[in-house]
Chain A
Amino acid sequence: MTDAALPPAGAQPALQRSAIEARLKARRAREARFRWYGRLAITAALLFLAVLLGRIVSQGYTTFVDYRMSVPVYLDPARIDPTDPTGANYDLMVADAVLAKLGETDDALGTTSGKLMALLSTDLGFQLLDKVRADPRLIGQTVTVTGPVRADASLYFKGLVDASAAETDRKLDDRQIAWLEKLRSLGMVSSGFNTSFLTRSDSTEPEQAGVLGAVVGSALMLLVTGLLSVPIGVLAAVYLEEFAPKNRWTSIIEVNINNLAAVPSIVYGLLGLAVFINWLAVPRSSPLVGGLVLALMSLPTVIIATRSALKAVPPSIREAALGVGASRTQTVFHHVLPLAMPGVMTGAILSLAHALGETAPLLMVGMVSFVPGVPAGFTESATVLPVQVFIWENASERAFHERTAAAIMVLLVFMIVMNLAAILLRRRFERRW
């Protein structure tokens, strides 16, 4: 190395400096870019959440407004046989009453009244029938019934039917739309909060379909799931955490439980179908069989949550209890488990919330049938909220889509309540040792 080979003095530090500065700049830019990637990822995830929830609310909120029509109907003695009130055509009577209001007359073929009946819910006719059955003296008098308008008419009132589209492209023709407008101006149509969505069960007619049956079904099913999975799961966790000797068997059980927690839920459905339905002959599509399947599914999560809650209780508690002469069983059940209870309950509620939203295994045990009423017991046919969502999503009528979104909103409200309960429980009772 000679002096001549060196660059001129003074130039070298400056060159190095600029090189270093350029590198530093690039490194800082990379740093900033990397941070932005992270921010972008989180923004994207939160955006998805906002779009998902926003879409469901925007599709579903219209369900909670409904349009009802009040029709005074003259119960013509000539058309109703008092000995057999079931035989009369009440839908036609309602339609005739409305036609009279509209100032139109039915033609011989009944096409006009047929068109009108497509706007009126069959619920009006059923109400008339119920009234006549309850009190046959009403025949010959005028009775006012109030009921929802048909789903298509309701969509029109909500502004969800594009009246400017070609007549053949919509469900309602121009004449029907004119009728609806006239009825509205006559003041026969009123709108309000749709309570019937929450007080009725599934129906083939969208405007009469509600979620009550599904809510009750879900409640019955969760009751079965909770009564089975929580006690069994907690006791199993107590055994594994506090009593089990550390040997090959218990480590097999442990690995097994961790794996069970990750088994796809549909496999539990197959298990339920083969064991509970085909082998033990538990009634299909009942809350009992659904609850059994979901109990097996949530058992591992309850066990895992309970074990971590038990682990969090410091050994000094156990030592103190044992030190004053308590037996191991007494130590666990009088001291350790009560202290771990908030954590246990949080885990149990969260796994029940998860079970509430589960659908796939229930499809396997036959819970996809159409159940019009509220389930009366654990062994009756029932439907549950997520399955109701699935069934309605498959329906072809457009009016069912808004009801699907509304059913999802009801389901999400229940899940939010359960999750909030878990969070509050954790906040209120959590103890840091």
Chain B
Amino acid sequence: MISWAVLAALVLFSAVTYALGRRKLTAQAAGQGRDRAHSRPGYHGAYVMLWVAVPAAAVLLLHGAFGGRIAAAAVQAEKPAAVAALTPQQRMVFYDDVQSTVVGRTPSEIIYAPDVREALDAEAREAVRIEMGLRLAAVAAALVLAVAGFVFSYRRVRPEFRARQHVEGWTAVLLFACSAAAILTTVGIVASLAFESFRFFQAVPPHQFLFGLDWDPQIAMRSDQFATSGAFGAVPLFVGTFLIMLIAMVVAAPIGLLSAIYLAEYASRPTRAVVKPLLEVLAGVPTVVYGFFAALTVGPLFRSTFNAIGAQLLGGPFHELGLYLSQVQNQMALVAGAVMGIMLIPFVSSLSDDIINAVPQSLRDGSLAMGATPSETIKKVVMPAALPGIVAALLLAVSRAIGETMIVTMAAGLQAKTTLNPLDTVTTVTVQIVTLLTGDQEFDSPKTLSAFGLGLTLFVITLILNVIALRIVQKYREQYD
């Protein structure tokens, strides 16, 4: 890591060069008896400063991001004989300890053989040497670049020099780079998911993953077992995700849609001004709060209600059902689904509100003028016109429900079951990703890698839903614009 002092020095130097560039221009312009240069003095200063700061900062940044890895690779390139004799795992631990020794952390408590112990000290000294060298090289390179940039740009500062155009060129590059960051994020998501999933699919064939009926990643802890059939069949997860999504939509779609219709078509201005922000509050509540609510309030409430109903039915004609109901647990699909539905209400209602408001008033006026009541107008004229948009809104809500993590992690179960019974405990794709990846450090087992397989599936499905929905919305907007 480059120290803050170096960065501070760079900032200071750039500031000085800005002032120098500015001063040179004003002095020259005055000396030539011209009171006007092509560009304002600030642009000249900025031009010099950019040439000083940007290349040097880039070098320091690169060193910060990759310096440690290069140094580690250089240290590991030449292994002492004692280290070369170790197994790959031991070697990994050995080099972790080297790194710890260098940084001053406590190394692991492994007791090495004397020759390895000696090698450890030697390698640590070597690592310190290489890292220092690398750091020195980076600082030197930054210094050279900064000075060279200064000399180059300072000489170009003249009253007729078009500094503004150059500075604006730098600005354009910066702006473009920023919007490229969005693209890079997508590339990063796709690449990381695809790469890790590829490693996973080498161990578990994709068709087994997508169509297998058995999900039990724990079995795969032992390396001789992961190839056995069915341990990574994701169908129960898909079914569980689908079930919870369905329950959530059953709650959210009618309530959200009817609220949106009422707010858009009937509510007075003051009512709207109060209700809309309140619904937005519901949308702003963090999902972990919904999860807490589901796990500690809704879950026990539902369980005790069903247990009470079951106790009533015991001994009667529905004895079996009663027995089942009196044994349901807190973690049922219904709880997670219902709470997720509450979470989605504002999402559905605000999207549909926009869509309904976009339907031209002339359609309503025509219908009302023919003698239709407002509700007939809504049902027969406004809704059909808004239908594509509303379908898109619901699709976006579905994609939200599928990708929602915290509520299901806290309120749905961990048992992978292929069932559509809302009172049963199910697990979802997102729950499994969280369980597979929290706490586990080792990164080579199919168990952890399967999370990336699940993530890729999740990403692809939500992407398809979003693309369809966004296209529909776009087409719909064009229709009435």
Chain A minimum-CB-distance residue to B175: A239
Does B324 sit at the interface, judged by CB under 8 A? no
State the CA gap A167–B373 with chains docked (Å).
66
Q: Are B282 and A49 in contact (CB under 8 A)?
A: yes
Q: Are A408 and B183 in contact (CB under 8 A)?
A: no
Does A79 sit at the interface, judged by CB under 8 A? no
Chain B minimum-CB-distance residue to A415: B284
Which of A3-11, A106-114, A128-136, A254-262 is near enough to bind chain B? A254-262
Which of A89-97, A154-162, A175-183, A263-271 is near enough to bind chain B? A263-271
Using an 8 Å CB-CB cutoff, how does the interface string of B316-353 with A read, 1 for contact, 0 for none?
00000000000000000000000000100110010000
Does A273 sit at the interface, judged by CB under 8 A? yes
Using an 8 Å CB-CB cutoff, how does the interface string of B4-40 with A read, 1 for contact, 0 for none?
0000000000000000000000000000000000000
Does A30 sit at the interface, judged by CB under 8 A? yes
State the CA gap A46–B462 with chains docked (Å).
29
Q: Are B179 and A236 in contact (CB under 8 A)?
A: yes
| Shortest distance between the CB of A394 and any CB in chain B (Å) | 8
Interface residues on A, range: 35 or more
Does A386 sit at the interface, judged by CB under 8 A? yes
Q: Are A235 and B174 in contact (CB under 8 A)?
A: yes
Using an 8 Å CB-CB cutoff, how does the interface string of B186-223 with A read, 1 for contact, 0 for none?
10110011011000000000000000000000000000
Contact of A359 among B69, B168, B286 (CB under 8 A): B286
Does B467 sit at the interface, judged by CB under 8 A? yes
Q: Give the contacts of B272-297 with A (CB-CB under 8 A).
A: 275, 278-279, 281-282, 284-293, 295-297
Q: Are B178 and A27 in contact (CB under 8 A)?
A: no
Q: Are B175 and A45 in contact (CB under 8 A)?
A: no
Does B57 sit at the interface, judged by CB under 8 A? no
| Shortest distance between the CB of B208 and any CB in chain A (Å) | 21
Q: Are B291 and A393 in contact (CB under 8 A)?
A: yes
| Shortest distance between the CB of B285 and any CB in chain A (Å) | 7
Residues of B within 8 A of A49 (CB): 278-279, 281-282
Using an 8 Å CB-CB cutoff, how does the interface string of B403-430 with A read, 1 for contact, 0 for none?
1111001100000000000000000001
| Shortest distance between the CB of A289 and any CB in chain B (Å) | 13
| Shortest distance between the CB of A89 and any CB in chain B (Å) | 28
Q: Are A35 and B185 in contact (CB under 8 A)?
A: no
Q: Are A303 and B182 in contact (CB under 8 A)?
A: yes
Contacts A59-B296, A271-B188: A37 and B289 contacting too (C-beta < 8 A)? no
Does B164 sit at the interface, judged by CB under 8 A? yes
Contacts A48-B342, A262-B396: A296 and B439 contacting too (C-beta < 8 A)? no
Residues of B within 8 A of A264 (CB): 399-400, 402-405, 430, 458-459, 462
| Shortest distance between the CB of A413 and any CB in chain B (Å) | 12
Does B84 sit at the interface, judged by CB under 8 A? no
Using an 8 Å CB-CB cutoff, how does the interface string of B157-185 with A read, 1 for contact, 0 for none?
00000001000100110111011011101
Q: Are B258 and A37 in contact (CB under 8 A)?
A: yes
Residues of A within 8 A of B406 (CB): 359-360, 390
Does B452 sit at the interface, judged by CB under 8 A? yes
Does B388 sit at the interface, judged by CB under 8 A? no
Does B119 sit at the interface, judged by CB under 8 A? no
| Shortest distance between the CB of A279 and any CB in chain B (Å) | 8
Does B243 sit at the interface, judged by CB under 8 A? no
Chain A minimum-CB-distance residue to B192: A274
Tally of chain B residues near chain A (CB < 8 A): 88
Contact of B275 among A34, A46, A257 (CB under 8 A): A46
| Shortest distance between the CB of A218 and any CB in chain B (Å) | 11
Contact of A42 among B182, B263, B379, B405 (CB under 8 A): B263
Q: How many A-B residue pairs have CB under 8 A?
A: 252
Does B230 sit at the interface, judged by CB under 8 A? no
Q: Are B182 and A256 in contact (CB under 8 A)?
A: yes
Q: Are A278 and B375 in contact (CB under 8 A)?
A: no
Q: Are A275 and B192 in contact (CB under 8 A)?
A: yes
Contact of A368 among B439, B462, B467, B470 (CB under 8 A): B439
Q: Are B404 and A363 in contact (CB under 8 A)?
A: no
Q: Are B255 and A41 in contact (CB under 8 A)?
A: yes
Residues of A within 8 A of B378 (CB): 34
| Shortest distance between the CB of A395 and any CB in chain B (Å) | 12
Q: Are B181 and A232 in contact (CB under 8 A)?
A: yes
Q: Are B410 and A390 in contact (CB under 8 A)?
A: yes
Q: Are A45 and B346 in contact (CB under 8 A)?
A: yes
Residues of A within 8 A of B172 (CB): 243, 329
State the CA gap A238–B176 with chains docked (Å).
9
Residues of B within 8 A of A404 (CB): 292, 296
Q: Are A238 and B175 in contact (CB under 8 A)?
A: yes
State the CA gap A136–B443 with chains docked (Å).
51
Q: Are B430 and A329 in contact (CB under 8 A)?
A: no
Q: Give the contacts of B241-267 with A (CB-CB under 8 A).
A: 254-259, 261-263, 266
Q: Are A266 and B292 in contact (CB under 8 A)?
A: no
Does B81 sit at the interface, judged by CB under 8 A? no
Does A52 sit at the interface, judged by CB under 8 A? yes
Residues of A within 8 A of B404 (CB): 264
Does B363 sit at the interface, judged by CB under 8 A? no
Q: Give the contacts of A290-341 with B (CB-CB under 8 A).
A: 296, 299-300, 303, 327-329
State the CA gap A170–B156 with chains docked (Å).
84
Does B268 sit at the interface, judged by CB under 8 A? no
Chain B minimum-CB-distance residue to A394: B410
Q: Are B189 and A46 in contact (CB under 8 A)?
A: no
Q: Are A411 and B286 in contact (CB under 8 A)?
A: yes
Residues of B within 8 A of A256 (CB): 182-183, 186
Q: Are A265 and B373 in contact (CB under 8 A)?
A: no
Residues of A within 8 A of B186 (CB): 256, 259-260
Q: Give the contacts of A22-63 with B (CB-CB under 8 A).
A: 27-28, 30-31, 34-35, 37-42, 44-46, 48-49, 52, 55-56, 59
| Shortest distance between the CB of A357 and any CB in chain B (Å) | 3
- Ranked 6 nearest A-B pairs via Cβ: A264-B403, A38-B262, A357-B286, A274-B192, A41-B258, A360-B405
18 more A-B residue pairs beyond the given contacts A34-B375, A52-B342, with a C-beta to C-beta distance below 8 A: A27-B373, A35-B266, A45-B345, A45-B349, A46-B279, A48-B342, A231-B178, A235-B174, A235-B175, A238-B175, A243-B172, A266-B433, A270-B455, A386-B288, A387-B288, A393-B410, A404-B296, A411-B286
16 contacts between A and B (CB under 8 A): A39-B262, A41-B259, A46-B275, A52-B342, A56-B293, A263-B189, A265-B405, A270-B437, A300-B182, A303-B182, A363-B437, A368-B439, A393-B292, A404-B296, A411-B286, A419-B284
- Enumerate chain A interface residues (CB-CB to B < 8 A): 27-28, 30-31, 34-35, 37-42, 44-46, 48-49, 52, 55-56, 59, 231-233, 235-240, 243-244, 253, 255-260, 262-268, 270-271, 273-275, 278, 280-281, 296, 299-300, 303, 327-329, 353-354, 356-360, 363-364, 366, 368, 386-387, 389-390, 393, 401, 404-405, 408, 411-412, 415, 419
